[in-house]
Structure 1
Amino acid sequence: MSSPNQELASYRASCHCGAVTFTIRTPSLSDHQVDRCDCSICSRNGYLLIHLKRADVDFHTDLNNMVSYSFGDKGGAHKFCPRCGSSAMVEFNENEDSELWINVRLIQGIDLQKLNYKDLDGKMMQPIYKAPQIATTPDQSSTPSAVSNFKRYNANCHCGTVTYTIHIPSLSDHQANSCNCSICSLNGYLLVYPERQDVVFYSGYDHLSDYAFGTKMVTHKFCPTCGSSIMIDCNGFAPVGVDPLAINVRMIQDIDLNKLKFRYTDGKNLF
């Protein structure tokens, strides 16, 4: 948060679809430390946070345009767009004196690679998050590929409504894709691309919300309860004989994102 004598800059922010827009006033982001936390919700929803007073945020759209999600001790309300799934902020105390933790991914025209980050060890904060048990009976018919070097990874959205397994080469050797296109940047996607048959949903698939934009050739799917971005369905938009899903590795249970290997795609200038 700003001190009384600091000069403030104004930044415009919005979710991907534009249903949630606001302006923040804060010291220049080039001098600001941005929290990058590994707690269960920040790691899944890709939060990169700065702390502001409610008075330093002007909303241009109705606050009711956002869904609120709370868990654990319910000390904060996580707010996201129900249309595109972009996680916007965490609100503490819903009044004029409230504190808002703003997700800087939504700020327009910034380069996330040039920000100053403070890494926070939130994984062990109380109460400790417990991932749901994966059921044994899938709610979709799927038979994973019988590939000997494939490893099974259990995954879920934060609230646990959506549970599934992914069958891919070991992530210790497999690169995930980090892309800077608009939707990947705003929603924090880190992607791997298994075949459709190698992703088995056990619960919640029919619960997922769909979002498409631009050419609408692919569909982004997220949990409408907690805002976790699960995957991008390529809808057959792939080479003949291939039917991949772009799966967000942030949802994998007990994943350590700092230990993954990434390839970087300049989607901002490709798509």
Structure 2
Amino acid sequence: MTTQQGSCHCGKIAFEVEGQPESVLACNCSMCLRKGALHWFVPRDKLRLLTPEENASTYLFNKHAIHHRFCPTCGIHPYGEGTDPSGKGMAAINVRCLEGVDLAAIPVEQFNGRAY
């Protein structure tokens, strides 16, 4: 299996994630629209932090369902955490934070997050 490397801009948050993004999701909720994230959803156990978890700050809003993780130093949002409808832990990887990914080659699915 392929392992992707990722980080925030300053490197205070670094991680690796197993898999290859086949498609990503662009959400139009008030948070995602502003930060411009392209989300790749993976089971939480496929995400491995390479830096201490406490390096990331958390932002919660609306229903507090997603823990938006961001770097308090550089402000970048490399991933989020939550659960899928069956209760399994999930991670939303911001593919813009992965090294060497050709964003133009990944299909983007639009998600109407404003409706939730």
Scaled by the length of structure 2, what TM-score is found?
A: 0.90
d(CA) in 2 for partners of 1:151 and 1:241?
26
Distance 1:218 1:247 in 2: 12
1:216 aligns with 2:67: no
Partner of 1:178 in structure 2? Answer: 26
* Structure-2 residue corresponding to 1:161: 12
Letter in 1 for 2:11: G
- The CA distance in 1 between the partners of 2:62 and 2:85, in whole Å, is 20
Decide whether the 8 Å contact of 2:81 with 2:89 is kept in 1.
Answer: no
Q: What does residue 78 of structure 2 align with?
A: 230
Alignment-derived partner of residue 191 in structure 1: 39
1:263 to 88, 109, 113: 109
Counterpart Cα distance in 2 of 1:258 and 1:204: 32
Q: Shift in Å at residue 257 of structure 1?
A: 1.7
Letter in 1 for 2:104: N
Q: State the distance in 2 between where 1:267 and 1:156 align.
A: 25
Give the Å deviation of 1:153. Answer: 0.3
1:91 alignment counterpart:
none
- Aligned partner of 1:245: which letter? A
- The alpha-carbon deviation at position 183 of structure 1 amounts to 0.8
Residue of structure 1 in register with 2:96 after alignment: 250
- Asked whether the equivalents of residues 5 and 98 of structure 2 are also in contact (C-alpha less than 8 Å), the reply is yes
Percentage identity across paired residues of the two chains? 28
CA RMSD of aligned residues (A): 1.4
SS in 2 for 1:244: strand
* 2:24 partner amino acid: A
1:222 maps to a residue whose letter is F
Letter in 1 for 2:70: F
Q: Give the whole-Å Cα distance in 1 for the aligned partners of 2:75 and 2:52.
A: 13
Deviations 1:64-106 (Å, cap 9, x if unpaired)? Answer: xxxxxxxxxxxxxxxxxxxxxxxxxxxxxxxxxxxxxxxxxxx
CA 1:156–1:211: 2 relative to 1, 3 Å: same
Q: Which runs of 5+ in 2 are unaligned?
A: none
Q: Decide whether the 8 Å contact of 2:23 with 2:108 is kept in 1.
A: yes
What SS class does the counterpart of residue 12 from structure 2 fall into?
Answer: coil
Deviation at 1:192, TM superposition (A): 0.9
> Cα offset for 1:241?
5.5
Q: Which has the larger radius of gyration?
A: 1
Amino acid aligned to 1:208: A
Secondary structure of the equivalent of 2:110?
strand
- Asked if 1 retains the 8 angstrom alpha-carbon contact of 2:25 and 2:111, the reply is yes
How far apart, CA to CA, are the structure 2 residues paired with 1:242 and 1:151? 22
By how many angstroms is 1:194 displaced?
0.8
Asked if structure 1 preserves the Cα contact closer than 8 Å seen for 2:27 and 2:113, the reply is yes
